[in-house]
Every structure is written in structure tokens, then in C-alpha cells.
Amino acid sequence: MMSNNKFKILIVEDEANILSFIKANLEISDYQVICAETCALGMMMYASYHPDIIVLDLGLPDRDGLSLIQDVREADTVPIIVLSARSGEMDKVEALDLGANDYITKPFSLSVLLLKLMARIRAVLRSHRYSEKNEGNHIGKFQFQDLMIDYDKRQVLVDGKEIDLTQTEYNILTFLSIHAGKVLTYAAIIQAVWGYSDYGSVKKLQVNMKNIRKKMGVTPGEKRYIVNELGVGYRMLAEDEE
């Protein structure tokens, strides 16, 4: 095969029009695409092709897509992006907590879906590579637009000016930046920053986040640097969106 060094993407999706549109476009972008229309077939393809990334629809004919996340996570850490027609926050939180890396709520337009998916694929592949190389060892710098985090000096600069963060605020921001592009649930951030899992701490996290954004010069509601995924968690931007 010519395509040995291409990124392999497994798409598990039962809607033929979505599947063929995404497949054709990802192939143009030089990804190798493997398709499955059911969970059972998805697991088979996963086992035989070892994809670099899995794009998973939740509403599948044989089983709930959530069960595939569980089965795959028992074996390895391959990034999983959930594609869902459901817009319920509990589904997103459940998918993320089961080990999905990201999710996209299916929009009306196929081209919007494709654009979002390609951005998430790039972000997931980037952060997956980063965490494999640098887990627990945040040497270097994070840079996005005019935001710069220097992990060695524990310095945060916006537009060249240092901003003064508390220890907790710095820890939250660093955790988000290490996983830039990925939605982190409230529970995951609280666990990483305070060391315990307590849903009651969401308020505390939100207060800290509000202060961080204010210090960064972001006005309420503005999608800059960090996106609030309502009812789910936060995501640090890794590339320009919308």
C-alpha cells in the first residue's frame, strides 16, 4: 500500500451521506480513512487497522457508541472524537468521562461539520503527540495568538505584558494549555488543580476562571483563548476558530 505513513482515521457512522462526504474530504487532505457503520464493525476495524484516531457517532444501529468508547479504552489511548446529534450536556460529559477526547454536536451543514472535524482532528493529534512526549514534564512554552506561557519561568504574557496570576489561576491555565484544543470537563480540571473530585467545586473553578479571563483582558462572553463549553467544561483554543 502507498498509504503506510498516512494518518489513519476510523469513522464509525451509519448515515451514508455524512460518511461519504467526510471520507472523500479527509482523503483529499491526505488522511487514510476506514469506515464502519456499526459498533461491532467499528471494533473489528479498530482491532485490525490500529487507527491513529477514531471519529465516532453515538447513535448507531447495533449498540450505543458510548459502549465502543468503553471497549476501546480498555485496550488503549487512541484519540476518540465523538460526533453526536444529541445536544444534551450529560451525553457530552459521559462521553468525555468515559475517555473520549472531544466531541462535536452535528450541525445543520455538512461543510460546517467537516471544518469543525478537521480542526478537532488537528488539535487532538497535536495534543496527543504533545502529551505522549511531555507528560508531567512541561518544558518549553505555549504560544497562541498573543498569549505566551513560559512553563520554565512560570510566566504568562499577553501581548508581551506579564500578567499576575495566583498559584491556582496559573495551575488552571497551564493545565488547559497543555491540553489545548481538547475539552476538559469541570471534574477533570478540579482533579488536576485541587487533587480531588468534587462537583461542588465547580463554583470555585468558575470564580477562578472569571478572574483569569479578566486579568487576560477578555470581556465576558468573548471567545478568546479559552472557550466555556456550557455545562461541560473549558477548552483552550489551539488555533483560530470560526
Interacting residues toward Ca ion by CB under 5 A: 14, 57, 59
- 189 C-beta neighbours (distance < 10 Å), count: 22
Distance CA 239, CA 180 (A): 9
CB of 117 to Ca ion, least distance (A): 15
CB of 54 to Ca ion, least distance (A): 15
- How do strand 233-236 and strand 53-57 relate by DSSP bridges? unpaired
Residue 57 or 91: the one with the smaller Cβ distance to Ca ion is 57
CB of 60 to Ca ion, least distance (A): 6
Residue 41 or 158: the one with the smaller Cβ distance to Ca ion is 41
Residue 83 or 172: the one with the smaller Cβ distance to Ca ion is 83
Residue 59 or 217: the one with the smaller Cβ distance to Ca ion is 59
Residue 14 or 146: the one with the smaller Cβ distance to Ca ion is 14
Report whether 173 contacts 142 (CB < 8 A).
no
C-alpha grid cell, residue 15: 448515515
Residue 39 or 165: the one with the smaller Cβ distance to Ca ion is 39
Distance of CA 190 to the CA centre of its chain: 17
CB of 94 to Ca ion, least distance (A): 17
CB of 48 to Ca ion, least distance (A): 23
- 54 C-beta neighbours (distance < 10 Å), count: 25
Residue nearest to Ca ion (CB): 59
CB of 58 to Ca ion, least distance (A): 7
Report whether 121 contacts 81 (CB < 8 A).
yes
CA atoms in the 13 A half-sphere facing the CB of 21? 14
C-alpha grid cell, residue 186: 469541570
Q: Is 127 helix (H, G, I), strand (E, B) or coil?
A: helix
Angle subtended by helix axes 110-134 and 167-178, to nearest 10: 110
